[in-house]
Structure 1
Amino acid sequence: MLAKLSAAERQQYILDQIQKKGSISVSDTAITLKVSEMTVRRDLMELEKRGLLQRRHGGATLLTAQLLDDLYSWETRVRHNVEAKVAIAKVALGLISEGDKLILHSGTTVALLARMLRSYGSLTIATNSILSMEELLGSPQVEVILTGGILNPDLKQLAGPLALQSLNSIRADKVFLSCSSISTQDGLFFTSAMDEVALEQASIRNCREAYLLVDHSKFQRSDFWVVGQLTQLKAVITDAGIPPERVKEMEAAGIPCIVA
């Protein structure tokens, strides 16, 4: 049994247990912490809002990049970890100059950046992301180029040979992309969608600078499809939730990491 804890201490205990076990039970946690099940549920709701776990019936599980990509709907992913994604998008916004030619790939953080660019100024933006395209609709100073291709309704993006042909025909100043996971030890970043690999690789080749927008939940994991090496990027932009040792690993490997 534990002595009575504050809300912050309870939530830290919950995170410690879920890291060790992979999942927790509301009822068991309430007994251990000597609080009501409603109190535990409130703690889980708060931790889920912060993007630290996924609530399930009767408990919660560890939140991983794979869960985000495979289990969450697009609409849920848009709302997940919003504060971190907004902070990352704001940093990316500061790297853009009026008159830039940009490529925006799919991903919720990149779509938030697109929203911020609506009234930014004169820009040319190519994208295969339906969500980014929708965010840019009606912007009087932004010229939007949609790649064309085969619609993936789950990822809200265009892919296939036509999309690849479009991106191979473009030379841009900067590309902003996301990924499903990063391994700083291997120096690689990954996607869980095969269709994204060639498109993102082409964009990195055809832009002067490539920026990876990724929140802290994506680090130290590997997916099946390798997009590229972290050294190909101008910088990785992430949020303050990233463990300091991950930042040190990237910096030691010569990979700039900007923490929002």
Structure 2
Amino acid sequence: MPKRNTVQRRHGILERLSLHGQVQVDELAKAFETSEVTIRKDLAELEKSGVLLRRYGGAVPLPAELIQTSSDTSDSKEKVSERKKAIARAAADCIRDHNRIIIDFGTTTAALIPRLQSKRGLVVMTNSLTVANAIRELENEPTLLLSGGTWDTHSESFQGQIAEQVIRSYDFDQLFIGCDGIDLERGTTTFNELLSLSRVMADSAREVVVMAEADKIGRRIPNLELPWSAISVLITDDRMTAEQQQHIEQQGVRVVIAPSGNGE
């Protein structure tokens, strides 16, 4: 197949996704005669546009219940951003000076970084270059630890046995971690099949804080990331229902609801 420009290629990816129900990076690279790096960038941009969801090694269609959410005009990118900021403010309130924390990769957890500016003597471990670079910009200069390991292009984070060994060699006060979905019965869920590092992080921290927007509650994604027994706190926004809050609190998890108003 001859090479196509970006718009044509991405349109072709969506056509294949509609036809087959899933697509794989290596197969798309061969079909469109381009690199796997280019295909991953295509899938990342298409995911940002709300037309598919990436999974390990490829992509799947956006679930029907998420299509409605993404098309809801009340959920603009600006409002989503404000919810992440509100969750980050609440998460920062949980951190004391001189705490040793882990911050996992993800846009919600990354929103926490500017809130660390007022904290003194922090030690921060991360498996994310994005988080690491943001930490380096802080004027209060937290001690930065990077997990190392094998770079995973899907999650844009370090994973694997080396990362696990590094994290196991430390003792942390808190882990701040996001998720793709929240199963009310089981715990947090993810599309990423690389689960072991998340569990090692949770085992290495005295308190596990999940940061997630309320629209992720009820997404029953097959891969269980952390069971409720491993989670200490869930911080979410004020779209959570009273029934959902009660159900999660019955699992022994403390729920913190961050108000959506501007708290700057």
Q: How far 1:129 moved relative to its partner?
A: 1.2
Residue 107 (str. 1) matches residue 101 (str. 2): no
1:7-45 C-alpha deviation (Å, 9 max, x unpaired): xxxxxxxxxxxxxxxxxxxxxxxxxxxxxxxxxxxxxxx
Does structure 1 conserve the Cα–Cα contact (< 8 Å) formed by 2:102 and 2:125? yes
1:201 alignment partner, one of 192, 199, 202: 199
- Counterpart for residue 222 of structure 1: 220
Residue 256 (str. 1) matches residue 258 (str. 2): no
Q: Number of residues paired by the alignment? A: 193
Give the Cα–Cα distance (whole angstroms) in 1 for the partners of residues 180 and 51 of structure 2. Answer: 20
Q: How far 1:154 moved relative to its partner?
A: 3.9
1:30-71 C-alpha deviation (Å, 9 max, x unpaired): xxxxxxxxxxxxxxxxxxxxxxx9589xxxx95639x99xxx
Q: How far 1:223 moved relative to its partner?
A: 1.6
1:80 to 1:167, Cα distance in 2 relative to 1, 3 A: farther
Ranges of 4+ aligned residues in structure 1 off by more than 3 Å:
53-56
Residue 86 (str. 1) matches residue 89 (str. 2): no
- AA partner of residue 225 (structure 2): V
Give the Cα–Cα distance (whole angstroms) in 1 for the partners of residues 214 and 238 of structure 2. Answer: 8
Larger Rg computed on CA atoms: 1
Give the Cα–Cα distance (whole angstroms) in 2 for the partners of residues 94 and 63 of structure 1. Answer: 33
Give ranges in structure 2 of 5+ residues lacking alignment.
Answer: 1-48, 53-62, 71-76, 259-264
- Counterpart for residue 45 of structure 2: none
Normalising by structure 2, what TM-score?
0.66
Residue 64 (str. 1) matches residue 66 (str. 2): yes
- AA partner of residue 230 (structure 2): Q
1:121 to 1:63, Cα distance in 2 relative to 1, 3 A: farther
Q: How far 1:159 moved relative to its partner?
A: 1.0
Alignment of 1:62-211 (within 5 A): 64=66, 81-139=80-138, 140-184=140-184, 186-195=185-194, 197-211=195-209
Normalising by structure 1, what TM-score?
0.67
- AA partner of residue 117 (structure 1): L
3-state SS, counterpart of residue 248 of structure 1: helix
- AA partner of residue 152 (structure 1): D
1:134 to 1:179, Cα distance in 2 relative to 1, 3 A: same
1:251 to 1:126, Cα distance in 2 relative to 1, 3 A: same
Q: How far 1:199 moved relative to its partner?
A: 0.8
Give ranges in structure 1 of 5+ residues lacking alignment.
Answer: 1-52, 69-77
